Amino acid sequence: MLATRVIQGQGVHVEGINFFTGFCVEGHTHAIRRQDQKKQKRNNALWVAEQLGIKLHIVDVIEEYKDVVINPKHGYGSNLNPCLDCKGFMVKKAHEWAMEHDFDFIITGEVIGQRPMSQRRDTMPVIARESGAHDRLVRPLSAKLLPQTLPEREGWIDRDALFDFNGRGRRPQIALAKQFELHDYAQPAGGCCFLTDAQYSAKLADLWQARGNREYEFDDIMLLKVGRHLRPSEGYKVIIAREEGENRFLEGYRKQFTHLFATSHAGPLALIDGVTGLEDLRVAARLVARFGKGRDAESVAVEIHAPSAEPKTLEVCPLSDADIPQDWYI
Ligand code: SF4
């Protein structure tokens, strides 16, 4: 928002570009979980564009982004977040888009030293170079600490009216926001990408290990955001809804997965991802019984539906917490 306002203030026409990778946290996840219902279900990119009065282009990069997540040449951050490759990829896409649509340069809100991986003095030039944007990439908030860019040299923008923000502190940004009368903005350092989340990354790593390769489909990464994931054996895992909103979300996957739910007691819907024999189904049914209202009952009836097979019902004794090894929880 600040970078846009600074550049708009120099009389430049600015439009926004937002990439949808599939790992975005906001909107979607808040809409699924009941406990998150009080959180605002806005798409922040759209909201920001509205505040700034600019056009926003939302670009789906789910397929192309896979290579960034699977093979990051600069490696991962503290979890499976490939921030440096990700920034390079997004700036590259933005640059291509800008050139195709007759724009002259790109701006980002990056600040030197603000992030440990992608916003260091030594990595910011890497993004400019590897993205192919080179000196058409302007970081208005730290521009005075970086080499001159093409728009500055050409006089399209005035370098003297740009900034020299540096470091993790955000006081100057907050002061500038006040000056621009921007009072509502995303929380500093608020996670907006699931790849920075340790639990989510553990689930993604488990998925790759179980499949024996590092591929994923869009549905895979969506399902990693939802439910309890337990892996009783290498060949399958059970995804159990934690509440009503997740139950409804998992219902959308009933045709693709073997799914099960208790019929004698109220309880969650669960999906099985992987290949199971009868004994595995029994374990899965006992797990489902454990997380439902029949957890203390002697016997719970669990109905199992496999794609293209007749449903069957198992009468099972719910697993107790002591029966569930901790390493089943992913
Ligand atoms: S946090 Fe996620 S979206 Fe942001 S740079 Fe890192 S990998 Fe990319």
Atom of ligand 1 nearest to the CA of 81: 7
Give residue 73 CA to ligand 1 midpoint distance, Å: 15
Residue 181 main-chain phi, psi, to 5 deg: 60, 40
Of the candidates 65, 76, 52, the one whose C-alpha atom is nearest the C-alpha of residue 4 is 52
Whether the full predicted model's pTM is greater than 0.85, yes or no, is: yes
Residues 6+ apart with CB under 8 A from 300: 262, 264, 265, 267, 285, 289, 292, 294, 315, 316, 317, 318
Of the candidates 248, 274, 270, the one whose C-alpha atom is nearest the C-alpha of residue 260 is 270
Which one-letter DSSP state was computed for residue 310?
-
Q: Could you read off the pLDDT of 212-253 as tens digits, one per residue?
A: 999 999 999 999 999 999 999 999 999 999 999 999 999 999
| Beta strands at 56-60 and 106-107: parallel, antiparallel or unpaired | unpaired
110 burial level (CB within 10 Å; 0-12, 13-18, 19+): buried
Give residue 298 CA to ligand 1 midpoint distance, Å: 48
Q: Could you read off the pLDDT of 182-219 as tens digits, one per residue?
A: 998 876 555 678 999 999 999 999 999 999 999 999 99
| Beta strands at 137-138 and 258-262: parallel, antiparallel or unpaired | unpaired
Beta bridge mates, 270 = 240, 260
How many residues are given for the chain? 330
Atom of ligand 1 nearest to the CA of 21: 3
| Residue type (1 letter), 85 | D
The predicted structure's pLDDT at residue 35 = 66
Q: Which of the listed residues 21, 61, 83 should we mutate to test ligand 1's pocket, taking the one with most ligand atoms within 8 A of CB?
A: 83
Beta bridge mates, 329 = 230
Helix axes 83-100, 62-70, angle to 10 degrees: 150
Residues with Cβ within 6 A of ligand 1? 81-83, 86-87, 118, 193, 195-196
The residue written with tokens 């990354």 in the block is 201
What's the whole-number mean pLDDT along residues 2-27?
93
Atom of ligand 1 nearest to the CA of 191: 1
Tokens for 160? Answer: 């003297």
Q: Is the Cα dihedral 286, 289, 291, 297 positive or negative?
A: negative
The predicted structure's pLDDT at residue 118 = 75
C-alpha distances in angstroms, 214 versus 18, 54, 64, 68, 249? 26, 38, 15, 12, 25
Q: Could you read off the pLDDT of 84-98 as tens digits, one per residue?
A: 999 999 999 999 999
